């Protein structure tokens, strides 16, 4: 099979790239290791920056999000038992975020690719990029016991942190930057009314907690936990009890509990690899970087990568202009590092760090108190949370 862009991975990065390219008359094929059902069962991000929602609308996949998503103009930070509202809209000249689950974004992207005749090959095993440093790269894979080959002009590595694309870049070229945090997030999804209309980020002596939501009857709650918790040790009752203890009292009184419909532990990590281009291979999204979820940036960064990459590819195929592709890595990384900094800062601001006892705890409390008393500090938080500009 021949195409213009071979895309590895049908997560949000890969499908959004394929959709945007299609709308500009550029052909692509997406190879995905998992089944579609598996991809659609993953519960992940849920807070979308305005830049991302604008991209989804421009890519003709924003209609259901605009009907069913919730616009949030603020969120709360709680510490010392008190809630402090961060008025995003007032602090940023009217900017907001959209609460709409990543799973729903995936569903909308699959539906759009199907409606436009896009080629997505799921359950593709042993996907391997070849000759990406040369002029004629290709991908091989196995499906239902048969070998497949896709010849393409460019390869987009959109295959997440554990994918094969990053490994196709020689170690002598690639530089990795990493920080692993000494804890994780234990999360549940529950078909209960959220404890608050807006998110509450909690700094608590027992550990961080987050009250998030997906809709009026779907709550997403997290507590700081060990990086590798045994879920068998966390029956729902134990989760609810621990979560309730970390909520401010007036919110705890309103908490509605119920059976979890999903429960998982995510380790927290900051990671960036440089460069994001090697020959005709371009990395995008989690394939190139990871942030701890505290700043709600992972999915949004995947989107900004696709913004830069799709523009570079469109300019190349439409006008023969290679400058966007040449500057892709540099432009994407400039924004990525700012989001890495913000996610790292939010993580330090809100979590209990075992090594922080004493002095570190007092500094953290002073920083929280300064934050909620200073319009300058709040503005900085708000402008990062709603998303820094793409350009
Ligand atoms: C548990 C969890 C919770 C998260 N919560 C948040 C959150 O609250 N807020 C936030 O902003 N972000 C969150 N994130 C991060 C966010 O989900 C990711 O940043 C986002 O999914 C990145 O999209 P992607 O398309 O780049 O990668 P992915 O979504 O990982 O997609 C990569 C795709 O490539 C496929 N693939 C992998 N290897 C291969 C291969 N060898 N061959 C073919 N296909 C392959 C995978 O199956 C997958 O479908 C969370 C992530 C996780 C894991």
- pLDDT tens, residue by residue, 144-190: 999 999 999 999 999 999 999 999 999 999 999 999 999 999 999 99
100 is catalytic: no
Task: Give Cβ neighbours of residue 373 (< 8 Å, ≥ 6 apart).
Answer: none
Q: Is the CB of 293 under 6 A from ligand 1?
A: yes
- How far apart, in Å, are the Cα atoms of 235 and each of 185, 221, 241, 309? 15, 14, 10, 43
170 is catalytic: no
Active-site residue, selected from the candidate residues 100, 201, 221, 222: 201
Helix, strand, coil share of the chain (percent; to 5): 40, 30, 30
Among candidates 198, 258, 228, which has minimal Cα distance to 70? 198
- The residue whose CA is least distant from atom 51 of ligand 1 is 44
This model's pTM is above 0.75: yes
235 is catalytic: no
Query: Average pLDDT of 303-331?
Result: 98
Q: Is the CB of 159 under 6 A from ligand 1?
A: yes
What does pLDDT average to over the chain?
97
Enclosing H/E stretch for 218: strand 218-225
pLDDT digits (tens, 9 = 90+) for 348-380: 999 999 888 899 999 999 999 999 999 999 999
Distance CA(260)–CA(232), nearest Å, equals 13
Active-site residue, selected from the candidate residues 297, 307, 331, 351: 297
297 is catalytic: yes
pLDDT digits (tens, 9 = 90+) for 73-118: 999 999 999 999 999 999 999 999 999 999 999 999 999 999 999 9
Q: Is the CB of 105 under 6 A from ligand 1?
A: no
Tell me how crowded residue 27 is: count the other CB atoms within 10 A of its CB.
Answer: 16
* Model pLDDT, residue 355: 85
* Model pLDDT, residue 357: 83
Cα of 161 to ligand 1 centre, how many Å?
7
* Model pLDDT, residue 350: 98
């Amino acid at each position: 099979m021949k195409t213009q862009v071979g895309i590895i991975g049908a997560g949000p990065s890969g499908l959004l790239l394929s959709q945007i390219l299609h709308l500009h008359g550029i052909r692509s094929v997406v190879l995905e290791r998992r089944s579609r059902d598996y991809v659609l069962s993953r519960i992940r991000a849920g807070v979308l920056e305005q830049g991302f929602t604008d991209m989804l609308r421009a890519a003709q996949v924003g209609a259901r999000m605009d009907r069913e998503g919730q616009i949030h103009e603020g969120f709360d930070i709680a510490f010392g038992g008190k809630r402090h509202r961060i008025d995003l809209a007032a602090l940023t000249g009217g900017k907001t975020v959209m609460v709409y689950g990543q799973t729903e974004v995936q569903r909308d992207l699959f539906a759009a690719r199907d409606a436009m005749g896009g080629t997505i090959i799921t359950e593709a095993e042993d996907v391997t990029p070849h000759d990406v440093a040369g002029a004629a790269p290709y991908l091989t894979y196995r499906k239902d016991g048969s070998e497949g080959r896709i010849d393409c002009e460019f390869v987009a590595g959109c295959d997440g942190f554990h994918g094969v694309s990053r490994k196709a870049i020689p170690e002598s070229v690639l530089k990795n930057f990493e920080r692993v945090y000494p804890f994780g997030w234990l999360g549940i999804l529950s078909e209960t009314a959220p404890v608050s209309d807006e998110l509450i980020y909690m700094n608590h002596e027992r550990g961080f907690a987050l009250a998030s939501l997906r809709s009026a009857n779907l709550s997403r709650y997290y507590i700081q936990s060990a990086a590798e918790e045994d879920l068998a040790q966390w029956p729902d009752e134990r989760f609810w009890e621990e979560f309730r203890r970390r909520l401010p009292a007036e919110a705890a009184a309103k908490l509605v509990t119920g059976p979890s419909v999903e429960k998982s532990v995510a380790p927290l990590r900051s990671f960036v690899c440089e460069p994001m281009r090697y020959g005709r291979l371009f990395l995008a999204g989690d394939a190139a970087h990871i942030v701890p979820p505290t700043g709600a940036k992972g999915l949004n960064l995947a989107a900004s990568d696709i913004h830069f990459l799709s523009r570079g590819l469109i300019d190349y195929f439409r006008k023969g202009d290679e400058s966007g592709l040449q500057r892709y890595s540099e432009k994407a990384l400039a924004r990525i590092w700012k989001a890495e900094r913000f996610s790292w800062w939010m993580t330090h601001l809100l979590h209990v760090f075992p090594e922080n006892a004493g002095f570190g705890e007092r500094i953290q409390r002073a920083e929280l108190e300064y934050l909620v008393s200073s319009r300058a500090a709040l503005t900085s938080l708000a402008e990062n949370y709603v998303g820094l500009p793409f350009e």
